[in-house]
Amino acid sequence: MRLGSGTFAACCVVIEVLGVALFLRGFFPTPVRSSARTEHQAEPPAPEPSAGASSNWTKLPPPLFRKVVIMLIDGLRDDFVFGSKGVKFMPYTTYLVEKGASHSFVAEAKLPTVTMPRIKALMTGSLPGFIDVVRNLNSPALLEDNVITQAKAAGKRIIFYGDETWVKLFPRHFVEYDGTTSFFVSDYTEVDDNVTRHLDKVLKRGDWDVLILHYLGLDHIGHVSGPSSPLIGHKLREMDSILMKIHTSLLSEERETLVPNLLVLCGDHGMSETGGHGASSVEELNTALILISSAFERKPGDIRRPKHVQQTDLAATLAIGLGLPIPGNSVGSLLFPTVEGRPVREQLRFLHLNAVQLSKLLQENVPSYTKEPGFEQFKMSERLHGNWIRLYLEENNSEVLFNLGAKVRRQYLDALRTLSLSLSRQVAQYDIYSMLVGTVMVLEVLALLLLSIPQALSSEAELEVPLWSPVFSLLFYLMFLVLSALHVIVCTSTESSCYFCGLSWLTAGGVMALISALLCAVGSALAKMFADGKFLSKNPAHPKARWSELDVLILLGTTGHVLSLGASSFIEEEHQTWYFLINTLCLALCHEIYRNCFLRDDCEPQQCSHVEEGFVSPAPALQDRSIRCNMLEPHRVSKGPTSLDTLRGYEKWMVLASPWVILTCCRLLRSLNQTGVQWAHRPDLGHWLTSSDHKAELSVLAALSLILIFALVQRRCSLTSKVAMALGLLGVYCYRAAIGNVLFPWQRDSKDISKGVIEARFVHVFVLGILFTGTKDLLKSQVIAADFTIKTVGLWEIYSGLVLLAALLFRPHNLPVLVFSLFIQTIMTKFIWKPLRHDAAEITIMHYWFGQAFFYFQGNSNSIATVDVSAGFVGLDTYMEVPAMFLTAFATFAGPVLWASHLVSFLSSETSRTRTNILQICIGPRRPQIAKAILRKNKAGGITIPDFQIYYGAIIKEYGTGTEIDI
Amino acid sequence: MDPALFRSSLSVWPSFLLVSAPVLFDYASQRVPRCSHSPWIASQENTMKDTDIKRLLYTHLLCIFSIILSIFIPSFFLENFSILETHLTWLCICSVFVTAVNLLLYLVVKPNASSKRSSLSYKVTRFLKCCIYFLMSCFFFHVIFVLYGAPLIELVLETFLFAVILSTFTTVPCLCLLGPNIKAWLRVFSRNGVTSIWENSLQITTISSFIGTWLGAFPIPLDWERPWQVWPISCTLGATFGYVAGLVISPLWIYWNRKQLTYKNH
């Protein structure tokens, strides 16, 4: 089957995406789930175990607390309360922790440390999967068994104020609520005032049982200015006073009713040293958890240190405290100190309930649960518990009873810990079979792609995909049968659930057929390549083209980067790899330029000497002649002297200086944003600029950057888009001034900070306008084939539209990244790629490298915490999923996207330039040899697009002079 | 210094003498003319090449020994000397040793003594020029390290000494062999530019020092928390290993490829 290169590549990409999706589905573990229905209350609670004697206590124990207030502070790291900051800024809380009637814990959150999965974990006690991160922005209602649903079913009245996520997770659960959106990260006072303003009213009223407050301000401060900002102290002091207010109000109420209330102060996740969250550093995982109640009264001198517990333990504790059944999917164990003050019988009853729930979850998720140590421990403690009950009912000697009780309690606690641990471990199990199928698919496509590179990149841009002949071969059918049999065997024998087995038989069969067809195709391509290789090696006419140092570097760098991803540190610090590579690339370019400039005379090809250079020697694999690829073979010999000689004095100096200019730019950008893990806390220019003391500097920088962006982009635009661009960039500055990031020179104090919706929409209009003009030009060029320049202009306009959008979405301190990106692109185009005549493959890979580096220059990293979510809400009043997702994705990947679109525009402009040259020469009175030479060069450049209209003239002339032609 | 190390360093001495004696003898006895020969006298050329390769090997062994000595000798005179802890001291000593050995060998071997007799003032200016070139190359490397991401203000001394040691491994041999002549340098470091075995080996050692330095930067981001991951220790060690590897490889490589190697005379 003959395919164009583009079609072939597109097919390969589609299959790869399918394979990767299948792999990911297997890689991300499905969370531990109880199959029990959500109507949990239908099930009777487990009765007290009793050996022989019949117990009369089968109902759920009564609630321990009358009212529960949950005060959730987003991003409350443990050291904000227990560390030096807590002592300084939260005096009341510190007093409660050290001397008051409270139990304090350091609760460890599980990954991902993002708000919504953490709320789910707190309320259900289960471990949400990684997939929940994606749903963080738009959370659907929580259907799992959880404390809130149970409380509502038990007739408790719940009031909620705070993050809107709760309202979406628990619709119709709250008798009264006021949600605040968390999307405007730069606001950290209003979000909290919105919660606090209801407090006085609610605390006076007594008509509620559970009050939930979710404060977002602390997390917002972290996102904007980091955990060491002075704003954190103010916020903590504010939170402390709120806690004091709630506590005194609860205490005064208790004096009347004499039943204890519970106040829970907790964080959902921590905060990294840069202020973000989402990853797995200790600062992000450890949160503060304090339970305050008069029931926890302690004797003087009783020092309670904050113990390390799991965040999931809170759900079980809350359920017990409110007298509710424990949520079915909870993997947490009861925080025992909370029930320590109760009689022994009640303590054991609570522990038993929790253990029964955990063992039930274990039975449903682990086929061989009877062999689990936790389950055995549970059975043993249940037996002992029964004995204890019998003794208790017989009213035995209190000494014996006490000792046995202590023993049972210890047994239960051990059992709970083991059960909880083995359930948490369940989450980390992979679906190996789906992963394997996905991997095989990806690898086969990769092999096919690699094998067909030489053909696909040759001048015809077409290739023969050996797909039809093997489909009718015996091998294919054998393969298909074997794979299907394997599928049946695997799917019928595994105990755990498997996604790929869950698919319909037809789909699975299709995938199997695809895998075997691909295998056959790879096999026949290999065979063909070997046959060709033999033929070629017999044919000495082929000149042995050699790799230039640049080609070796590009290939080694790309493969080296792929290999480096095997080490987790290199993934965390991937930006270092890219910075290192582009620096080396610049130095290699510098070497090439200088050699071309100074050694023009000495550089003639010398036939006699075959001295291999040290550069080539470390890469013996590269000399494998079987990978014969037209694109990557340098055609420098046929190129003749590069056009460096023809440059005038000024330009020559620019060419010589350009690598150093680029290196300097990269170094400046590098110190703009520190990313990664190890050195992320180092001071950088970005933090200096964003601090409120340097607003004037930031304003000047932003204005300068916008002017430079205009200067760099406008040179190849049409007049309309030039005007649109200028107005759009002006709009960008107005938008940043409106939301309070930068200042207008005439407006020293900006009091009214709006969301800047109008300004942002104004820019959006211009972006769409420029993109529309560009698309129109592109379409026109498709219709009118003769005009090549229109296509180039159209592509450039699309590119400039994207630049404008990026300028709008980037934070103001990141605007220099955009400027330098444009600047480097201009310099590379003008002084490196054009004079040195790199071929398309080299230019493509260089664009890829720079695009990756600019991704990190923006301050991104491989951690999800560095994604700037606020970019998704530029110009939007309310949260809209599709545009917000698109804007966030574009702002994050702006670097690679801009470089890719520059690549397209650059290649198209080069093609049109050479074509115009050919036309002129063919029409003019020159000798046809020149035309032929240019045609050949064009081929060598790899940018050939067969266009017979253009070649026509040349061919006619060739025949006219009687020379042979070999196009 | 512990006795075991002392003994081992003592055992190094005889072997050093063993190696160096024939070298010195070799240089003193036969002053081989410079390698400009007519291509058709094949046998004579081959013998000449063999002696050249032998001399190359000996000089390189001497350079390697100078590096080994720079590790062991200072511990006789300095308290608490170790490569990792007193890294900067070692850098200075190693740099001085290698420079001294290179200069010595250059004066003794004279791989490409200029034919024309030159005056003293010419020699002095040439020497001064070489010194300036060396300093310039140190600053040049320093700038490149900063461009590669070395801290600009902190650790300036460390970065500069790293630049010095790299210049010692690369610029000093170039200056000895080619003199302060940038054009000749560029010629040697471009493809097919070498004109003698000496230049060929120079090319290989220099490039392998650079590659060693380049590879030496790789362990820095790893989270192993080893003392040698501190900037610039891994890079200097990489440079040293690269240099030593180049010294070992180049004679062997030239020996194995001596049939194919033909040099154009300029």
Split at pLDDT 50, 70, 90, the class of A770 is very high
Q: Taking CB atoms and an 8 Å cutoff, what residues of chain A touch B193?
A: 599, 602
Mean pLDDT of the region B18-34? 41
- Give the number of C-alpha atoms closer than 13 A to the C-alpha of residue A366, restricted to the C-beta side: 22
Q: How far apart are CA A591 and CA A329, in angstroms?
A: 63
Nearest to A583 among B147, B221, B260 (CB): B147
pLDDT at B181 over 50: yes
Q: How far apart are CA A595 and CA B183, in angstroms?
A: 10
CA distance A679 to chain B (A): 9
Report the candidate in A776, A705, A771, A712 with the shortest Cα–Cα distance to residue A741. Answer: A705
| pLDDT tens string A122-169 | 998 887 666 555 554 555 677 778 899 889 988 899 999 988 888 888
Q: Which residues of A423-460 are buried (b: 16+ CB within 10 A; e: fewer)?
A: bbebbeeebebbbebbebbbebbebbbebbbbbbbbbe
Task: Check B192 against A580: CB less than 8 A apart.
Answer: no
Task: Check B186 against A579: CB less than 8 A apart.
Answer: no
Percent of chain A past pLDDT 70, that is, above it, reads: 80
pLDDT at A623 over 80: no
- At A134 the pLDDT is 54
Other Cβ atoms less than 10 A from the Cβ of A69: the count is: 24
Is A718 touching B (CB cutoff 8 A)?
no
Q: List all residues 6 or more positions away from A466 whose beta carbon is below 8 Å from its beta carbon.
A: A520, A521, A524, A525, A528
The ipTM (two decimal places) reads: 0.82
- At A427 the pLDDT is 65
What are the domain boundaries of chain B?
3-26+46-110+119-264
| pLDDT tens string A601-610 | 444 433 333 3
- At A913 the pLDDT is 76
Report the candidate in B18, B29, B13 with the shortest Cα–Cα distance to residue B58. Answer: B18
E strands, A849-950, in order: none
Is B78 touching A (CB cutoff 8 A)?
no
Q: Taking CB atoms and an 8 Å cutoff, what residues of chain A touch B261?
A: 609, 611
Nearest to A595 among B147, B190, B220 (CB): B190
Is B193 touching A (CB cutoff 8 A)?
yes
Strand-pair partners of A68:
A210, A262
pLDDT at B266 over 80: no
Nearest to B208 among A598, A614, A676 (CB): A614
- Give the number of C-alpha atoms closer than 13 A to the C-alpha of residue A473, restricted to the C-beta side: 16
CA distance A599 to chain B (A): 7
pTM (2 decimals)?
Answer: 0.69
Q: Taking CB atoms and an 8 Å cutoff, what residues of chain A touch B200?
A: 611
Is A608 touching B (CB cutoff 8 A)?
yes
Q: Which residue has the tokens 């080996």?
A: B201
Task: Check B191 against A587: CB less than 8 A apart.
Answer: no
- At A942 the pLDDT is 42
Residue in chain B closest to A608 (alpha carbons) equals: B262
Task: Check B186 against A667: CB less than 8 A apart.
Answer: no
Residue in chain A closest to B209 (alpha carbons) equals: A614
In this structure, is the dihedral angle defined by the CA atoms of residues A131, A132, A138 and A143, taken in order, positive or negative? Answer: positive
Per DSSP, the residues of A49-91 read P-SSSPPS--SPPPPS-S-EEEEEETT-BHHHHHSHHHHHH-H
The CA distances from residue A305 to A266, A302, A908, B21, in Å, are 16, 10, 68, 73
Scan residues 210-249 of B and list those with Cβ closer than 8 Å to A: 211, 214, 217, 220-223, 246
Task: Check A667 against B192: CB less than 8 A apart.
Answer: no
Task: Check A580 against B148: CB less than 8 A apart.
Answer: yes
Q: Taking CB atoms and an 8 Å cutoff, what residues of chain B touch A605?
A: 192
| pLDDT tens string A647-677 | 667 888 888 899 999 999 999 999 998 888 7
In this structure, is the dihedral angle defined by the CA atoms of residues B166, B170, B173 and B178, taken in order, positive or negative? Answer: negative
Mutate which: A280, A609, A856, A862, vs B, most B CBs within 10 A: A609
Report the candidate in A274, A332, A329, A341 with the shortest Cα–Cα distance to residue A302. Answer: A341
Domains and CATH numbers, chain A: 3-28+431-532 (no CATH), 67-341 (3.40.720.10), 577-599+645-924 (no CATH), 931-958 (no CATH)
Q: Taking CB atoms and an 8 Å cutoff, what residues of chain B touch A591?
A: 189
Mean pLDDT of the region A545-570? 86
B159 burial class (0-12, 13-18, 19+ CB within 10 angstroms)? buried
More confident residue, A411 or A873: A411
Is A696 touching B (CB cutoff 8 A)?
no
Task: Check A611 against B208: CB less than 8 A apart.
Answer: no
CA distance B57 to chain A (A): 18
Confirm if A104 and A296 have CB atoms less than 8 A apart.
Answer: no
Mean pLDDT of the region A465-474? 68
| pLDDT tens string A334-389 | 888 888 888 888 888 899 989 988 888 888 877 677 777 888 888 888 888 888 88
Task: Check A599 against B193: CB less than 8 A apart.
Answer: yes
The CA distances from residue A801 to A77, A714, A767, A851, in Å, are 42, 11, 5, 18
pLDDT at A750 over 60: no
Q: How far apart are CA A725 and CA A578, in angstroms?
A: 31
Confirm if B202 and B243 have CB atoms less than 8 A apart.
Answer: no
- At A619 the pLDDT is 35
Q: Return the minimum-mean-pLDDT range out of A237-246, A706-715, B26-35.
A: B26-35
Confirm if A547 and A616 have CB atoms less than 8 A apart.
Answer: yes
Q: Taking CB atoms and an 8 Å cutoff, what residues of chain A touch B264?
A: 606, 608-609
Task: Check B221 against A570: CB less than 8 A apart.
Answer: yes
Residue A496 identity (one-letter amino acid)? S
pLDDT at B14 over 60: no
Q: How far apart are CA A373 and CA A432, in angstroms?
A: 25
pLDDT at A799 over 90: yes
Split at pLDDT 50, 70, 90, the class of B204 is very high
- At B17 the pLDDT is 38
Q: Taking CB atoms and an 8 Å cutoff, what residues of chain B touch A611?
A: 191-192, 194, 200, 261
Q: Taking CB atoms and an 8 Å cutoff, what residues of chain A touch B192?
A: 605-606, 609, 611
| pLDDT tens string A851-896 | 999 999 998 888 777 788 788 888 887 777 788 889 989 999 999 9
Q: Return the minimum-mean-pLDDT range out of A96-100, A414-418, B259-263.
A: B259-263
Q: How far apart are CA B116 and CA A90, in angstroms?
A: 85
Is B33 touching A (CB cutoff 8 A)?
no
Q: How far apart are CA B187 and CA A889, in angstroms?
A: 49
- At A749 the pLDDT is 57
More confident residue, B33 or A818: A818
| pLDDT tens string A35-74 | 554 444 445 667 777 655 566 666 778 888 989 999 999 9
Mean pLDDT of the region A788-797? 85
In this structure, is the dihedral angle defined by the CA atoms of residues B58, B59, B63 and B65, taken in order, positive or negative? Answer: positive
3 state SS for A189-206:
CHHHHHHHCCHHHHHHCC
Percent of chain B past pLDDT 70, that is, above it, reads: 77
Mean pLDDT of chain A: 80
Size of interface A-B (CB pairs under 8 A): 76
- At A438 the pLDDT is 92
Mean pLDDT of chain B: 79
